[in-house]
Amino acid sequence: MHLVSFLPVLCGWLAFPLVLATVPILNNDVTPDLVVPNRYIVKYKDAVADKGPVQARHERAVHRASRAGGSMRGILDTFALPGLRGYIVEISPSELGNLVESDLLEYIEKDTITTTAAITPTDRHSQHRMMTQYDAPRGLVRLSHRSAHTTSNEYHYAATAGLNIPIYVLDSGIRITHSEFHQSPNPNTQGSSTSRARWGANFIPSSPDTDEDGHGTHVAGIIAGTTYGVAKHAHVIAVKVLDGTGSGSMSGVLQGLDWAVKDARDKGVMRRAVVNLSLAGVYTQSVNDAVQAAVDQGMTVVCAAGNTGEDAGGYSPGSAAGAITVGAVNGTGTVGEGGENRRATFSNWGGAVDIFAEGVAVLSSGAQSDTHVKYMSGTSMAAPHVAGLAAYFIVEEGLEGEKVKARVLAVAGKGVQDRKGGADRVAYNGDGL
């Protein structure tokens, strides 16, 4: 009697067909303080038709049932990356018990917290035509010198560095009015100054379209700043996934990646676009899948390795195989890290780390004013050196898609000390000394 009366309700919830196979719940071993309560990332099986009637019926049922008690918000958003389709849902434990029996789903993953991969900062108030920047920031000097022991203060680079390449900065936002992002869009022609930074999307609920933390503006400055940037003619797009404390959710990162892929596709720049992710959280399968989906579409995705001094393979998105994962070296010799070309003690390590770049006491743009600059340390600062380098090679060598990562890794210098299984590569632009 109970079984007969219960089945019609259950079947409507699952949206036919009904097969009692339990869907795995990922991230069950994550400590509660790193979990977003009652929020899950849900992935459909690849065989489920995109926006078909079965999927639509399932989503309506999930949304209705999860909101029935009045305390949960139900389905918050959907995503549709190639090979990764699903939704983000806020749902009670009791209703989750029904969801795990759906035959439509590949996995359900607990949403977790992600944070910037930065150490507490200290503020401070051509074709092939080559340029030299004198008194350049140490990270840029290192990028254009194969030897770690150079005494030069010069950054040597091609005049068209990163010209018009779109770089999606998934971070705390960008102060798009900062002077570092204003210059003529074409270095070979005269023209009025214009901004190379634009606002893209915001996935922090009820937050303004500004950089409330400063981390994203600093990262963008390393990528494309006029003074502090690697690719001085690239364009940076703000995709806000971190709040004013430098914290966000992995579901927000997934939403940001989904938006970036769609924007690049709509603008016809997919295989010349770069994504920078200077953030890290616990291993999250859905985010790694999203990174791989973007890479499979031809985007170059650069990730920070993380700052816990542990194996980067346990963190996302840096553990995503298709990404370029960047660890930090110290080229300053001033912070007790052991000197040039040595892995910074905070930097994660291991087989997931593809390359290293400067990540200690890096000077770049800040968000307090249009001329504010500051020092920050972390793999968050190392990654944008490589994101800028990717844009540099896209323009200088006409590369796109998977060839960009291959070139970044092939040109790199060697001699990283204490790399603990990370690749023996230091970012190098190939145009220096």
Domain of 65, CATH number, reads 3.30.70.80
Among 63, 145, 156, 215, the active-site one is: 215
In this structure, is residue 424 part of a structural domain? Answer: no
Please say if 171 is a catalytic residue: yes
Residue 383 shares a structural domain with residue 237 = yes
**Full residue range of the structural domain in which residue 54 is found:** 2-111
Residue 87 shares a structural domain with residue 127 = no
| SS3 of the chain | CHHHHHHHHHHHHHCCCCCCCCCCEECCCCCHHHEEEEEEEEEECCCCCCCCHHHHHHHHHHHHHHHCCCCCCEEEEEEEECCEEEEEEECCHHHHHHHCCCCCEEEEEEEEEEEECCEEEEEECCCCCEEEECCCCHHHHHHCCCCCCCCCCCEEEECCCCCCCEEEEEECCCCCCCHHHEECCCCCCCCCCEECEEEEEECCCCCCCCCCCCHHHHHHHHHHCCCCCCCCCCEEEEEECCCCCCEEEHHHHHHHHHHHHHHHHHCCCHHHCEEEECEEEECCHHHHHHHHHHHHCCCEEEEECCCCCCEHHHEECCCCCCCEEEEEEECCCCCCCCCCCEECCCCCECCCCCEEEECCCEEEECCCCCCCEEEEECHHHHHHHHHHHHHHHHHHCCCCCHHHHHHHHHHCECCCECCCCCCCCECCCCCCC
Residue 305 shares a structural domain with residue 212 = yes
- 26, 108 Cβ separation under 8 angstroms: yes
In this structure, is residue 370 part of a structural domain? Answer: yes
Number of independent structural domains in the chain: 2
- pLDDT at position 189: 44
- 305, 325 Cβ separation under 8 angstroms: yes
Among 66, 380, 385, 431, the active-site one is: 380
- pLDDT at position 194: 83
Among 63, 102, 156, 171, the active-site one is: 171
Buried-exposed string 309-322: b where 16+ CB fall within 10 A, e elsewhere:
eebbbbbbbbbbeb
Which residue, of 111, 134, 166, is where some domain finishes? Answer: 111
- Kind of pairing between the strands at 84-90 and 35-44: antiparallel
In this structure, is residue 417 part of a structural domain? Answer: no
Instruction: Specify the CATH number for the domain of residue 359.
Output: 3.40.50.200
Residue 200 shares a structural domain with residue 59 = no
Residue 282 shares a structural domain with residue 193 = yes
Residue 314 shares a structural domain with residue 209 = yes
In this structure, is residue 429 part of a structural domain? Answer: no
Which residue, of 92, 111, 130, is where some domain finishes? Answer: 111
Rounded distance between C-alpha atoms, residue 281 and residue 318, angstroms: 9
- pLDDT at position 130: 85
- Kind of pairing between the strands at 274-277 and 300-304: parallel
- pLDDT at position 351: 97
Residue 229 shares a structural domain with residue 274 = yes
Each of the 433 residues of the chain gets a pLDDT tens digit; together they read 333 322 222 333 444 344 445 899 999 999 999 999 999 999 999 988 676 788 999 999 999 999 988 899 999 999 999 889 999 999 999 899 889 889 999 999 999 999 988 765 433 334 457 889 988 888 898 898 876 666 678 898 888 899 999 999 999 999 999 999 986 545 444 444 589 999 999 999 999 999 999 999 999 999 999 999 999 999 999 999 999 999 999 999 999 999 999 999 999 999 999 999 999 999 999 999 999 999 999 999 999 999 999 999 999 999 999 999 999 998 754 333 334 689 999 999 999 999 999 999 999 999 999 999 999 999 999 999 999 999 999 999 999 999 999 999 999 999 899 999 999 999 999 876 6
- pLDDT at position 433: 62
Residue 45 shares a structural domain with residue 142 = no
Residue 105 shares a structural domain with residue 250 = no
In this structure, is residue 430 part of a structural domain? Answer: no
Residue 149 shares a structural domain with residue 70 = no
Residue 94 shares a structural domain with residue 137 = no
In this structure, is residue 361 part of a structural domain? Answer: yes
- 386, 427 Cβ separation under 8 angstroms: yes
In this structure, is residue 381 part of a structural domain? Answer: yes
- 200, 237 Cβ separation under 8 angstroms: yes
Please say if 380 is a catalytic residue: yes
- pLDDT at position 302: 99
- The amino acid sitting at 221 is G
Residue 271 shares a structural domain with residue 160 = yes
Please say if 296 is a catalytic residue: no
- pLDDT at position 117: 80
Rounded distance between C-alpha atoms, residue 153 and residue 135, angstroms: 5
In this structure, is residue 425 part of a structural domain? Answer: no
